[in-house]
Chains A and B, each alone.
Chain A
Amino acid sequence: MIYSLWIFDRHCIIQQDPKAARPLVGGGTVNLNNDIDSAKLLFGALFSLRNIASKLTSNVNIIDNTSSDLDFQKQNYLRSFATQNYRAHYFETLSGLKFVLLTDPSIQDMQKHLHEIYTNFYVEYVAKNALSPVDFKPGELIGSEKFINSVDSYILSLSVT
């Protein structure tokens, strides 16, 4: 089961996939306003984990582990994190764009689907769209209907749903 898709740019949120997504709700006892900030909470969690991932490894030990000789692939990337109830799959492009998919914890690897969404839909309908802003303003969402619809139908077509 797939719960929601989030796309963050270098700054913070730009798009939450509206149809495949039910709103994320924080809440709890500490701060009721957390409801509004779940995008920021998600971004913060991923950002911290990403830093941990890069902090604990160096290029040296990574060379032992992979045969890749491309410089940019030597970095350690966060793939996913999970709690008992859900799992967040994470994919980051070289331009700092972050794709996050929240799914059931039993679902294994969604990286390739996130990559697919990036190459087939984001690049085609948002990056190549001359009318779409290069840098999204805070609070601004991806407006391209073509993008939203094709991402929706792609996610709903995945066999894991």
Chain B
Amino acid sequence: MNDIIIAILRSGTPLVYVTLAGVIAQRAGIWNLGLEGLMIIGACATILGIVVTGSVTLALLIAMLFAVLASILLWFVVEKLKANPIIAGLGLTGLGLGGTALAIQSFFGSQSAVNAPFGLPRLGPAFGAYGVLSILVVLMPVVVFALWFVLCRTRFGLQLSACGQHPFAARSVGVNPSTMRLIALSIGGVLAALGGAELAAGSLQFFGQNMTAGRGFMAFAAVIFGAAHPLGATLAAMFFSVLSAIGIRAQLVFGDSVPHDLIQALPYLATVFGLWLSSRLRGGTAGGITELRDD
């Protein structure tokens, strides 16, 4: 039983951090499809940071810096150059996937994976079987709660939601939606970097090309499934992780009788099902409200 819980926490934690990044962007009115790109930038920068500086703290700071810069780039393209946020987000994902591959090639030649000498600090033997979990796993509930508090229990959070739902309402109380979106995307950059760091250095200690394998898009699905609520989206992300853990188990049990590919597709199928369910429950009004015209 312990090992399945550990497996769920290990696969779920990166997903939750990235989902939270998506939640805050969604609330501010940007459909962030660049999550995949941000996550892999975070993963790559963490491993390269550890290799180059030899310090986990510095590596995490470097990862956050790059993910925040990439988020600011997205903000600039969407808000200042008035690009379609969905296309711009997909572009960011392409930039992340391609840019990280380029980065490790320029550092290490033709390698497609980089190993780090060590990963994130673990809890240690004092926690028994759970000692293999990284500190970011323990930090995750704290971050979820903190984001819930900021988004749902502060005036800042209400103003952020207003920017997403009804930007004109935000402007008419003196809030600048563009500035709020910059703040939201920057916070999202930090969170996505943590998700990437946990993925590459939480249980593993290496970075490989395309290692996010669609987790950023799954996180985005969790944002929609969870109605952009920090707690709801976290639950959705954990639900997807439980399914993928069950999938791995089922693979061991059923082995030959069920096709291996089908079991691996389970979390993704669940994502599609979850999206369908959430749009049914909410009457299909998932579409964003665009800024009302001024006259």
- A interacts with B: no
Name B residues whose Cβ lies closer than 8 Å to a Cβ of A.
none
